[in-house]
Amino acid sequence: MGDFGVIADVSTTIVTALTTALRSLGGEQPPIAVLHDLSEPVTPPPPMLTVFLYEIAEDPASRNRPPVRSLPPDPPRTRKPPMALLLRYLITPWGGDQPTQHRMLGRALQVFYDDAILDGPQLSGSLAGTTDALHLSLTALTLDQKSWVWYAIQKPYRLSLNYEVRVVNLDVATELAVRPVRSRVIDGVTAS
């Protein structure tokens, strides 16, 4: 389960996986992956894949999960279930020639197709050592939808990949104490 830094931890996990995979492309300066919001110009060398988190949404399928209760020997406590998030990323190649950019995209597609579930030692930060798993899927967007993403960040359209990461669990910050039932009243009669 993730604390408030879980979004940054997911982004770091993705960048690390991509950078490791891009080393196989070799070259004088092998390509790297970087977390970038695309508000400033991207300045290679080396050639790079930018990883841009462009949307955070709540996973609708996970909204009605029951409260989480503590297990004995801890004192009885309850808390809301973690908020289940979907993170949407834009992965874009920069630098090098067109074949190099296409190889970077191909390698990114390959690594996330071969290992579409990141878990265990692949996770970093608050996710490290947990049983959480990040499911990555290539998001099918129309050309118009992709153009709107680029329009929103006020940049000209570039060939890029759109990935969705689900389910990222964001833990709640508060717990409520649960008091045990000591007595009850049924039809005016108190029972203990």
Tell me the pLDDT band of 107, cut-offs 50, 70 and 90.
Answer: very high
Tell me, what's the pLDDT at 96? 76
Residue range 106-132: mean pLDDT, rounded: 89
pLDDT of 56 reads: 92
59/19: higher pLDDT: 19
- Is the separation of the CB atoms in 160 and 65 below 8 Å? no
pLDDT > 70: percent of the chain: 88
Res 1: pLDDT:
54
pLDDT level of residue 137 (50, 70, 90 thresholds): very high
- pLDDT tens for residues 1-57? 567 888 999 999 999 999 999 988 877 788 999 999 888 888 878 899 999 999 999
Most confident of 29-33, 104-108, 142-146, 186-190: 104-108
pLDDT at 68: 72
Give pLDDT tens digits for 64-94.
Answer: 777 777 667 677 777 777 888 999 999 999 9
Determine the pLDDT at residue 179: 67
Residue 97 lies in a domain: yes
- Spatial separation of the C-alpha atoms in residues 156 and 150, rounded to whole Å: 6
- 147, part of any domain: yes
Q: For residues 132 and 169, what is the distance between their CA atoms, to the nearest angstrom?
A: 8
CA dihedral 36, 39, 41, 42 (to 10 degrees): 10
**pTM (2 d.p.):** 0.80
Question: Does 1 map to a domain?
Answer: no
Q: Look at residues 192, 148, 141 and name the one whose alpha carbon lies nearest to residue 163.
A: 141
Q: Is residue 106 situated within a structural domain? A: yes
85 domain-assigned: yes
When pLDDT is averaged across residues 103-111 and rounded to a whole number, the result is 94
In this prediction, residues 98-104 reach a mean pLDDT of 91
Report the C-alpha dihedral over residues 121, 136, 89, 33, rounded to 10 degrees.
40
Domain-located, residue 43: yes
In terms of residue numbers, what domain contains 54? 6-191
pLDDT of res. 126? 81
Q: How many domains does the chain have?
A: 1
